[in-house]
Chain A
Amino acid sequence: MLTLIDISKNYGLRPVLRGINLKIDKAEIVVLFGHNGAGKTTLLKISAGITPPTRGRVVVEDQVIKQGGIYYLGHKNSLYSELTVMENIRFFLSMRNGTAMVNSIEETLEEFGLWQRRNDPVKALSQGMKRRLALMKGIISGASLLMLDEPFSGLDLGWKDRVLNKLMALREKGTSLFIATHLINEGCQIADRVALLERGNLTLFHDKTEVNESLIQERLRNEVCR
C-alpha cells in the first residue's frame, strides 16, 4: 500500500533520516518506535506527504487513493475549537464525501464516550476527549491507510485498551496502519511488524512473533528509554 524508498531528510546540515526503506502491506499494522527526537514524526509526515524528503520517494498505491485515501493524525488533533463535536464530524465527512458513513456516527460517538458531548464546542472538551474525537474521525473516515503519531497520548488506561481494540478491528477490515509511539506495551500489543528508528536509521523486525519476545521488548526498551 505504501512504500518508502531510500528516504533521507536533513534539517539544515543535520541528517534526521538516512536512507529509510519500508513497505506497509494491506491490512498490516507497522509500529514505529524511537526515542524523543529520533525522527518518528518526520518519517510519518514524509510518508503522509506533508513534508518533502531531502532524498528518496514515497509510493502510494492507486488503490489507497481510490478506496478512501489516507487519514493522518499528528500531534495536533485537527479540530476546529469553536465548532461542536458533531459540526467537526459533519465537516470532516463532507470533505471526504463520506455521506455513507453518517449512519455510523451516533454508534461510534457512543463507543468513544462522546455522545453526551456531541453538541458541545470542542474547546470545552478535555485533552483526552479531543484525542478520542480525532481518533474517531480516523475510524469513520473510511481511509484505507491510517497514519497515527502518538495516538494514545492523553488517553487513560481504559480508553487506550478500547482504542487498541478499535484499531485492531480496523485491520481485520483491511485497513493498514502506520503508528509512531513511544509506548512499548501498547505498540507491541497491536503491531504486526515493529520498526525501530535510531540515529536516523531504521531497523525492521519482519517476524511477527519476534514482537512478543522479551528479548526484542528489552531492546526496544533500552533504545526508547535511552
Chain B
Amino acid sequence: MKFVGNTLSIVKKDILLEFRAKEALSIMVFLSLLLIVVFNLAVDIDKDNVSSLAPGILWVVFAFSGVLGMGKTSLSEREDGAYLNVFFSAVSMEVFYIAKVISNLIFLLFMELFTIVSFVVLFNYDALIKGLPALTLPLLLGSIGFSAVGTLFSFLSTGSRFGEIILPFLFLPVVVPVLIAGVSATDLILNNTTGGALLKWLKMLAVFDLLYLTVSLMLFKHIVEE
C-alpha cells in the first residue's frame, strides 16, 4: 500500500507542477501542432493515401514531441536538487522512477490525443476517430515504452550541460523498435487488418516495454547518483 501511496503522491505533485508551470504539456502540444501543420503543407496527402501515411506521421510526431516534454519533467527535479526529497526519504528510487514514468505517460497520452484530433481536423480524416478504440492499446503500449526510456534518459541528460540537446540523440535510436511496432500496428488498424499480424506487433511492443522498464529500473538509481 505504501508503494501505491508514494507513487500517487509523486504523480499528484508532478501534475500539480505541470498545471502551475505549463512547461512540458505546452511544449509537447505546440510542437505536435507545428509538426502536423508542416506535414500538412509538405506532404501531398489525399483521401487515397492518407491511411498509409497517417501511421508514420503520427508516430514521428509522438516521438519528437514526447521527448521534449519528458526533458522538462526531469528538469523540475534537478534544477533545485528537489529530487533529494525522495533520495533521502523512505521511498526507493525504483518507486520514484515508476512514478515519473506514470507522470510522463499521462502527459504523453494527453499530447497524443491532441495530435490525433489535430490530424483529423487538418487532414479531414474521420477514420482515425472511428479507429480510436482499437488504437488505444498500441498507443498505450508505445507510450509506456517512450516513457520508460524517456524518463531514464531525461534524468541522465539533465545532469549534463547540454542535456536538452543530448536527450533526443539518446532517446530516438533506442525507441526505434517501439516506433516500428507502433507504426505497423497503427497501419494495420487503420487499414482494417486485425488478427495475427496485429497481435504480433502488439506482442513486440509489450516485450520492449518490459525490457525497457526492467533495464531502466536497474539503472535509474545509478543515474540519479552523481
**A residues near B, CB below 8 A?**
45, 48-52, 69-72, 74, 76-83, 87, 91-92, 94-97, 121, 143
Least Cβ–Cβ distance between A183 and chain B, in angstroms:
21
Contact in complex: A79, B80 (CB < 8 Å): yes
A51 touching B20, Cβ below 8 Å: no
Residues of B within 8 A of A76 (CB): 80-81
B88 close to A77 (CB less than 8 A): no
Q: Which of B79, B90, B226 contacts A45 (CB 8 A)?
A: B226
Q: Which 6 A-B pairs have the closest CB atoms?
A: A76-B81, A95-B89, A82-B20, A94-B9, A78-B84, A78-B81
Sampled A-B contacts (10; CB under 8 Å) = A77-B81, A78-B81, A78-B82, A78-B83, A80-B17, A80-B80, A82-B16, A82-B76, A91-B13, A95-B86
Contact of B87 among A50, A80, A82, A121 (CB under 8 A): A50
The verdict on A92 contacting B85 (CB below 8 Å), with A50-B225, A121-B20 known, is yes
Question: B82 — which chain A residues lie within 8 A by C-beta?
Answer: 78-80
Which residues of B lie under 8 Å from residue A143 when comparing CB positions?
88
Point out which of B5, B13, B85, B226 has the most chain A C-beta atoms below 10 A from its C-beta: B85
| Cα–Cα distance between A81 and B17 once the two chains are bound (Å) | 9
B13 touches A80 (CB 8 A): yes
Q: Which of B10, B13, B86, B226 contacts A51 (CB 8 A)?
A: B226
Q: Contacts of A94 on B, CB cut-off 8 Å?
A: 5-6, 9
Kindly state the separation between the CA atoms of A49 and B16 in the bound complex, as whole angstroms. Answer: 30
Within the complex, which residue of B20, B76, B84, B91 is in contact with A74, where a contact is CB–CB below 8 Å?
B84
The answer to whether A71 and B88 touch across the interface, beta carbons within 8 angstroms, is yes
State whether A83 touches B85 (Cβ < 8 A): no
Closest to A49 in B: B225
Q: Which residues of A sit under 8 angstroms from B13, Cβ to Cβ?
A: 80, 83, 87, 91
- Determine which residue in B86, B88, B90, B225 has the highest number of CB atoms from chain A within 10 A of its CB, and name it: B88
Residues of B contacting A91 with CB < 8 Å? 9, 13, 85
Beyond A79-B82, A80-B76, A94-B6, is A72–B88 a contact (Cβ under 8 Å)? yes
Report how far A69 CA is from B16 CA in the complex, Å: 27
Q: Is B47 an interface residue (CB 8 A)?
A: no
A95 with B91, Cβ < 8 A, contacts A50-B226, A83-B20 known: yes
Bound-state CA distance A52–B17 (Å) is 31
Q: How many A-B residue pairs have CB under 8 A?
A: 73
Interface check B130, CB cutoff 8 A: no
B21 at interface (Cβ–Cβ under 8 A)? yes
Complex contacts, A83 vs chain B, CB 8 Å: 13, 16-17, 20
- In residues 1-45 of chain B, which contact A (Cβ within 8 Å)? 2, 5-6, 9-10, 13, 16-17, 20-21
Q: With a CB–CB cut-off of 8 A, which chain A residues contact B90?
A: 69, 95-97
Select one of B6, B16, B81, B226 contacting A87, CB under 8 A.
B16
Let me know if B84 and A72 touch, CB within 8 A: yes
Inside 8 A of B225's CB, which chain A residues have their CB? 49-52
Cα-based distance from A95 to B86 in the complex (angstroms): 6
| Neighbouring B residues of A79 by C-beta, 8 Å | 80, 82
Instruction: State which of B16, B17, B85 has its C-beta within 8 Å of the C-beta of A95.
Output: B85
Q: Which of A81, A87, A96, A121 contacts B80 (CB 8 A)?
A: A81
Task: Considering the complex, give the chain A residue whose CB is closest to the CB of B96.
Answer: A95
Identify which of B5, B6, B17, B226 contacts A82 (C-beta below 8 A). B17
Contacts of A52 in B (CB 8 A): 225-226
Question: Which residues of chain A are near B76, meaning CB under 8 Å?
Answer: 80, 82
On whether A69 and B226 interact (CB within 8 A), knowing A80-B80, A80-B82, A95-B9, the answer reads no
In the complex the two chains form, what is the Cα distance from A72 to B226 in whole Å? 15
> Chain B's nearest CB lies how many Å from the CB of A177?
15
* B91 to A: closest C-beta gap in Å: 5
Beta-carbon nearest neighbor of B13 in chain A: A91
Contacts of B21 in A (CB 8 A): 82
Distance in angstroms from B209 CB to nearest chain A CB is 27
CA distance A71 to B88 in the complex (A): 6
Return chain B residues, CB-CB under 8 Å to A82. Answer: 16-17, 20-21, 76
Are B88 and A69 closer than 8 Å at their CB atoms?
A: yes
The CA of A97 and the CA of B85, in the complex, are separated in Å by 12
| CB-CB nearest in chain B for A95 | B89
